[in-house]
Amino acid sequence: DQQVKQNSPSLSVQEGRISILNCDYTNSMFDYFLWYKKYPAEGPTFLISISSIKDKNEDGRFTVFLNKSAKHLSLHIVPSQPGDSAVYFCAARRYTGNQFYFGTGTSLTVIP
Amino acid sequence: DVKVTQSSRYLVKRTGEKVFLECVQDMDHENMFWYRQDPGLGLRLIYFSYDVKMKEKGDIPEGYSVSREKKERFSLILESASTNQTSMYLCASSPGGLYGYTFGSGTRLTVV
């Protein structure tokens, strides 16, 4: 049973515009969340994290928003650049848990 | 930087062969993980390990086994490869706690 879901398999955005990637989770016990970015033929790399005590975390062009009541998080990339074209995975876990649970991924294409 | 090294980038094996996928990390991390990545299914956990000689089943352990004889090395074994095990295999390590995972570059396995 998929506990972390990314319902959009793909997204295309013009360079310079905002990219919004969404992630939903079903387990209300999850309290720590990550976003990973993956280029083809490479392993995923860590992008940004957020804990449940916050509703927003920013790192340069990347901002993650968390809506605990909706069990929803989103990643905003502003402005989008062609180098951001990759597959993005969200991941969630409990503080007391053993592992992160990953979403199915969203393939972002930034069009120059 | 933590480095996670997977021994092969590409492998082609025949149905019924025994296949070994090797993973080595160089930062003394306690935890190591094996995932497979398939289109539309995201990252699915096969096995993980918290310590030497310890292993736990993930979400899809059937057809796989693992070995962790040394802290830095975590091997994934396909006892009798089948075509439905054709996939991208990703190894990851973590110091534990809320630290994210560091992934290797992946092994693209094709079973013919």
pLDDT, tens digit (0-9, with 9 covering 90-100), for A64-110: 999 999 999 999 999 999 999 999 999 999 877 778 899 999 999 99
Residue with tokens 């280029």: A39
Domain count, chain A: 1
Q: What is the extent of the structural domain holding A45?
A: 4-111
Please answer yes or no on whether B42 and A103 come within 8 Å at the CB atom: yes
Q: How high is the pLDDT of residue B64?
A: 97
Instruction: Say if residue A79 is preceded by a cis peptide, omega within 30 of 0.
Output: yes
Distance separating alpha carbons of residues B101 and B59, to the nearest angstrom: 17
Position A41 pLDDT exceeds 90: no
Contacts of A49 in chain B (CB under 8 A): 100
Query: A81: which 2 tokens?
Result: 């650049």
User: What are A's interface residues with B at a Cβ cutoff of 8 A?
Assistant: 2, 6, 9, 32, 34, 36, 41-46, 49, 51, 89, 91, 93, 95, 98-100, 102-105
The CATH number that applies at residue A91 is 2.60.40.10
Contacts of B33 in chain A (CB under 8 A): 99
Is the CB of residue B104 less than 8 Å from the CB of residue A43? yes
Q: How high is the pLDDT of residue B2?
A: 60
Is the CB of residue A51 less than 8 Å from the CB of residue A31? yes
Between A34, A41, A105, which is nearest B42 by CB? Answer: A105
Q: How high is the pLDDT of residue B63?
A: 96
Cα A57 to Cα A50, A84, B93: the distances in Å are 6, 19, 24
Q: How high is the pLDDT of residue B1?
A: 65
Going along B15-94, which residue ranges are E strands? 19-21, 23-25, 31-38, 42-49, 56-57, 64-70, 73-78, 87-94
Angle at A23 between CA B1 and CA A58, to 5 degrees: 55
Q: Which residues of chain B have pLDDT under 50?
A: none
Between A95, A98, A102, which is nearest B98 by CB? Answer: A95
Helix (DSSP H) and strand (DSSP E) numbers for chain A: 0, 11
Q: How high is the pLDDT of residue A86?
A: 97
Between A43, A95, A103, which is nearest B103 by CB? Answer: A43
Query: A7: which 2 tokens?
Result: 């319902």
Q: How high is the pLDDT of residue A15?
A: 97
Is the CB of residue B9 less than 8 Å from the CB of residue B15? no
Q: How high is the pLDDT of residue B80?
A: 97
pLDDT, tens digit (0-9, with 9 covering 90-100), for A4-17: 999 999 999 999 99
